[in-house]
């Protein structure tokens, strides 16, 4: 069978083809399938560079059509301030899971942003108190905007506190999203005071030292810890991790590169102390929140199946609509 060539999709194509609500639904479904044992474990490889690094996440997505998907993302925290470039850049390669044919190459930025926010929304749906209406967002970049939009689809948000070391970033987010989401957003400098009044906290920073302290978090809070996706990155107090109910997106990854990793490294937790993977809860194999007083932390390191299901959705819609360019990497035979 002759290949039609590989579909090349620009970032704007991905943005247009993948809505946040569609991504949330797809991510929830793929967590359910994983919890039912229908998706094999994914793989990850990391490479360090002087000012950042590259990680590769790969996974198999079975279904009515099988896909093998790999995402190659670079993460250079200084890019935005030093070079006016995105912190995270990369590509997703989607191949036919039955014969290995490269079907599509997609820009990864928009998929990474949306699938990360979608995972937090799915976790909040199962782990936050249903009446949670006050949230604190830590880190006010593009990921924060997606996180808040996604959170608003599953919880009745009415008040949001925005915290960032760059106060102007918090002010810009508040000005922009308060109108879009029709919710009160207040930039804050005092994180402790904001956390004490919040039902939900989302951390999406590049911090390498924790700033959410155990003593500052109110009983019953749900925390989506998003930023620690590398062993040197950290947002949550290890003592808080050890005392809370921890739900991982991927147990091995969270213990190796997430905030759970730091609690284990300090001898405050063991791998077996992690309550569950999110997939087990979505598949109803374990209960989620069992008390209004529980502090539950979703340790979100980003898993390949999230990228795979989002990339597959984009590819199928693009193919059906005739969007994108076709390129034959093999060239004429």
Q: Is 71 a catalytic residue?
A: yes
Closest C-alpha to 226, from 126, 112, 330, 305 = 112
The continuous run of DSSP H or E covering 218 comes out as none
Q: Are 309 and 317 spatial neighbours (Cβ–Cβ below 8 Å)?
A: no
For strand 102-107 and strand 88-96, is the pairing parallel, antiparallel, or unpaired?
antiparallel
Whole-number Å distance between alpha carbons of 70 and 57: 6
Mean pLDDT of 186-203: 98
Q: What domains are there in the chain, each with its CATH number?
A: 6-111+305-327 (3.30.1780.10), 117-302 (3.40.50.720)
pLDDT band of residue 3 (cuts 50, 70, 90) is low
Q: How many CA atoms within 13 Å lie on the side-chain side of 215?
A: 0
pLDDT recorded at residue 174? 97
pLDDT recorded at residue 333? 56
The continuous run of DSSP H or E covering 11 comes out as helix 11-17
The single residue of 38, 48, 57, 71 carrying the catalytic annotation is: 71
Q: Is the per-residue pLDDT at 1 higher than 50?
A: no
Q: Is the per-residue pLDDT at 46 higher than 90?
A: no
Instruction: Assign 5 to helix, strand or coil.
Output: coil
pLDDT recorded at residue 88? 81
Whole-number Å distance between alpha carbons of 254 and 256: 5
Q: Pick the residue with more confidence: 195 or 51?
A: 195
């Amino acid at each position: 069978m002759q290949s039609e060539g590989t579909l090349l999709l620009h970032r704007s194509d991905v943005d247009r083809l993948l809505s946040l609500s569609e991504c949330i639904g797809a991510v929830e479904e793929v967590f359910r399938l994983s919890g039912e044992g229908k998706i094999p474990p994914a793989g990850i490889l990391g490479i360090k560079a002087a000012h950042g690094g590259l990680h590769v996440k790969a996974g198999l997505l079975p279904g009515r059509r099988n896909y093998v998907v790999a995402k190659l993302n670079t993460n250079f925290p200084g890019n935005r301030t030093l070079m006016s470039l995105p912190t995270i850049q990369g590509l997703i390669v989607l191949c036919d899971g039955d014969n290995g044919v490269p079907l599509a190459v997609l820009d990864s930025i928009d998929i990474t942003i949306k699938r990360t926010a979608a995972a937090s929304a799915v976790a909040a749906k199962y782990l936050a108190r249903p009446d949670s209406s006050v949230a604190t967002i830590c880190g006010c970049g593009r990921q924060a905007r997606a996180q808040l939009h996604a959170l608003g689809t599953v919880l009745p948000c009415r008040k949001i506190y925005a915290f960032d070391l760059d106060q102007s970033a918090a002010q810009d987010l508040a000005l922009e999203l308060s109108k879009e989401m029709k919710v009160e957003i207040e930039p804050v400098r005092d994180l402790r005071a904001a956390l004490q009044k919040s039902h939900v906290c989302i951390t999406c920073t590049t911090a390498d030292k924790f700033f959410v302290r155990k003593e500052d978090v109110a009983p019953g809070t749900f925390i989506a810890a998003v930023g620690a996706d590398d062993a040197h990155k950290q947002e949550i107090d290890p003592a808080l991790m050890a005392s809370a109910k921890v739900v991982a997106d991927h147990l091995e990854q969270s213990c190796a590169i997430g905030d759970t990793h730091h609690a284990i490294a300090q001898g405050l937790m063991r791998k077996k102390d992690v309550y569950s993977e999110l997939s087990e809860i979505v598949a109803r194999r374990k209960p989620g929140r069992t008390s209004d007083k529980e502090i539950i932390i979703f340790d979100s390191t980003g898993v390949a199946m999230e990228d795979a299901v989002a990339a597959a959705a984009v590819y199928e819609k693009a193919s059906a609509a005739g969007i994108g360019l076709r390129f034959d990497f093999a060239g004429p035979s």
